[in-house]
Structure 1
Amino acid sequence: MTGYALHLLRHGAPEQTGLLMGRTDCAPTPTGIAACVAKASGLNVAHLYASNLARCRQAGEAIGTAMNLPVTIDPRWRELDFGDWDGRAGAEIDSDALARFWADPDAHPPPHGERWSALAARVGAALDDLPPRPTLIVTHGGAIRAALHRLCGFDRRQLWSFDLPYGVLVSLSVWPGPRPNAQIASIQP
C-alpha cells in the first residue's frame, strides 16, 4: 500500500501572544494569515481541514480561497483545553502547578482542563477519519504534537523538544492501515 502526504500547518501569529490559548478564540493577525497562505502555496493537496477556532479557521479559509479548495472545519483539531488557565499568561499561574503540568500533563492537567490523553484521543480519531489522499490541516501546536505521538510514536518528552513556532509546516508521509504510521518528511519553520 502506498502512503500519502499529510501536512500539518500551525496557525499564524494571533493578535494576543504569550498566553496559554487552548479554547480561547483569539483572532489571527493579517500577517499570520498571509504567512500560512504563503507556506501552503505550492502544496499539492486534495483535502483541506482546519480547527474551528478563528486563528486556524480564518487561515484555512484563506488557503482554501487561494487553492480553490473547500475547507472542512473539524473541532477535533483544536488545541488542548487549558481550563482555568486558558487565556492567561504563564506568569499568572502557580509555577509549581504549571511545572507539574508540563512534566506530566495527563496526571496534572490544568484545573477544569483537558488531559493530554484526551487531546491525543480526539486527534487520533480525526486522523482515523482522514481519506488516504494528500491533506493539509491548519491546526495548533498541541494537536500537531498529538498527531506526531499517534503517527510516529514519539513520547511526550520527545514531543516537547520540537520547536513548533507560528506558521510551521510539518510534512509527513503516512501509511494507512489498522494502526496508521508515518515518517516526517520535513519541518519548515
Structure 2
Amino acid sequence: MILHLIRHPPPRVAQDVCYGAMDVPAEPAAVFAAALRADLLPGLPLWSSPLQRCHELAAALHPVPIFDERLREMDFGTWEGRRWVDIPRAELDAWAADVDGYVPPGGESARQLQRRVLDFVAMLAVSEAVLITHAGVIRSLYAHVNGRSIADCLDVRPAFGSRTTLVLA
C-alpha cells in the first residue's frame, strides 16, 4: 500500500504552546492545496484528521474527504494549550526518558498514537491513498515502516503542507 501523508498547513498558535489534540485553526489552505494538487494523482481516496488544521486542506483537495479520529495528533492531556515552559520539568524529563511509552497526564503515549494509526491503516482496503494529518502521525508511520522506535525518529519533522510517501508491505 502506498500512503501519501500530508502535514497540515501552519497552525495559528504561538510557537511555545503545546498543541496536539487541541483543535486550532491553520493558515489558509489554498496555496498548499494548489501545489499538492499538481503533485498527486487525481482520484485517489483521501482520509483526514478531523481537526480544523487538516479539515480545510482535505476539503480543498478532494470533493468527498473522509474524516477519521484515528488520524488526529497525539493527545497531550493536561499539557494541551500550555506554554512548554509552564509544564512541570519532572513531567518533561519523564517524557524525554521514555518518548514512546510516557503518557502525559490525561493524554496518550506516542506508542498509543502509533497503535491507533496502525489500526486505521489496517482497515484500509486500497492500494494507494492520501492522508491529511499531523507530524506525530507521520513520524509514527515512518518509524513503523522502517522498524525503528518513535524515539529514534524524532528527527523526522515534515514541513507544514509537505507530502511524505511511504510504502507499507
- Equivalences for residues 68-83 of structure 1 within 5 A: 69-83=63-77
Rounded Cα–Cα distance in structure 1 between residues aligned with 2:73 and 2:64: 22
1:162 equivalent in structure 2: 156
Amino acid at match of 1:114: E
Deviation at 1:145, TM superposition (A): 1.2
Rounded Cα–Cα distance in structure 1 between residues aligned with 2:102 and 2:2: 35
TM, length-normalised to structure 2: 0.89
Rounded Cα–Cα distance in structure 2 between residues aligned with 1:23 and 1:53: 8
Amino acid at match of 1:5: I
CA RMSD of aligned residues (A): 1.7
Higher strand share: 1
Q: Look up the SS of the partner of 1:150 in the other structure.
A: helix
Which structure is higher in RCO with an 8 Å CA cutoff and minimum separation 6? 2
Tell me which stretches of 4 or more aligned residues in structure 1 moved more than 6 Å: none
1:118 equivalent in structure 2: 112
Deviation at 1:138, TM superposition (A): 0.4
* Aligned length in residues: 166
Deviation at 1:41, TM superposition (A): 1.4
Report percent identity of matched pairs: 30
Further displaced range: 142-151 or 74-83: 142-151
- Equivalences for residues 1-189 of structure 1 within 5 A: 4-18=1-15, 19-30=17-28, 33-42=29-38, 43-44=40-41, 45-64=43-62, 69-175=63-169
TM, length-normalised to structure 1: 0.80
Q: Which structure 1 segments of 5+ residues have no match?
A: 176-189
Classify 1:38/1:103 alpha carbon distance in 2 versus 1 (closer, same or farther; 3 Å). Answer: farther
Rounded Cα–Cα distance in structure 2 between residues aligned with 1:39 and 1:173: 22
Q: Which structure 2 segments of 5+ residues have no match?
A: none
